[in-house]
Copies of this chain bind each other. A is one copy, B any other.
């Protein structure tokens, strides 16, 4: 097995993590969370999305949040998700300089999610790409349902590779293969990612996993074995699946950082500070999160030997 020396975490709790939370999280709470996370050393954030506020009310304050955090961010990377050119224009108008355009490899999922065919989204990507070049904006692309679609099932490898090829012909900073609803398995991840890396060796890759079926950390392990060192994670593992009530969400930042540190892989993140952010998160959302390490503590915590009676 191959393990990297260092891994880069992109924290998505403020976007994908909170997106489906019932209680609306206000901008002050988001700012507080952001500051705790930067204090823990997190250097990259998907902080919000510029979608229609009626569709995703939790993201309606993304612009306001950006204006509050951009100074405190320092050298941290602040990425805004956009579903279309209009979103890209709104975000960059506020000064956002990193955007992430998302569409689905699965036609059915894309139609559900953004009311476009995959081809239409690819066409819009060209416009966004031109817009970003003109305005000196860094453009990322996330391919949702890369490892399977809840409507269509498995995605044919050739289809995924064909879309990756069309995307990589443009000027894309980071391409993210996303397991939107937690269908990926470690073997599939290793195989698809190895293929993408060998066919498009110059494209910077990121992986986005959900822990819906408990395989999130295993998929990260498989991704690292295929040579990837960039991963999306969400504090507390927030971001439940709309199709499976009670199922968990994104792979959990604390648990990922803890696993990496236990394997002597650097992240530049302070786990103890991260767990303080995790506590704040539970207070803000008002419920427990599925994080393991938050409950159990780190592997290297030593316990006193009980005194026998």
Contact = CB atoms under 8 A, between A and B. Distances in A.
A211 interface: yes
B303 A263 contact: no
Given A151-B302, A244-B296, A214 B1 contact: no
Interface residues of A, number: 57
Interface in A68-86: none
Contacts of A212: 292, 296
Contacts of A293: 213-214
Contacts of A7: none
Q: Which of A152, A300, A305 has the largest count of B CB atoms less than 10 A from its CB?
A: A305
A150 to B, nearest CB: 5
A297 interface: yes
Interface in A230-273: 241, 243-248, 252, 255, 258-259, 262-264
Interface string A291-309: 1110111111111111000
B292 A259 contact: no
Given A246-B295, A292-B211, A185 B302 contact: no
A262 B188 contact: yes
B153 A305 contact: no
A186 B259 contact: yes
Contacts of A1: 1, 186-187, 190, 222, 225
Nearest to A262: B185
A182 interface: yes
A174 interface: no
Nearest to A184: B299
Nearest to A220: B218
B300 A213 contact: no
A304 to B, nearest CB: 8
A221 interface: yes
B292 A213 contact: yes
Interface of A: 1, 3, 108, 112, 148, 150-154, 182-188, 190, 211-215, 217-218, 221-222, 225, 241, 243-248, 252, 255, 258-259, 262-264, 291-293, 295-306
Those 7 A-B pairs whose CB atoms lie nearest each other, nearest first: A214-B292, A247-B296, A187-B263, A185-B262, A244-B296, A214-B255, A183-B299
23 contacts: A1-B1, A1-B187, A1-B190, A1-B222, A112-B306, A150-B301, A150-B302, A153-B300, A182-B299, A183-B299, A183-B300, A186-B221, A186-B259, A187-B262, A211-B292, A212-B296, A214-B292, A214-B293, A215-B217, A217-B217, A218-B221, A244-B296, A244-B297
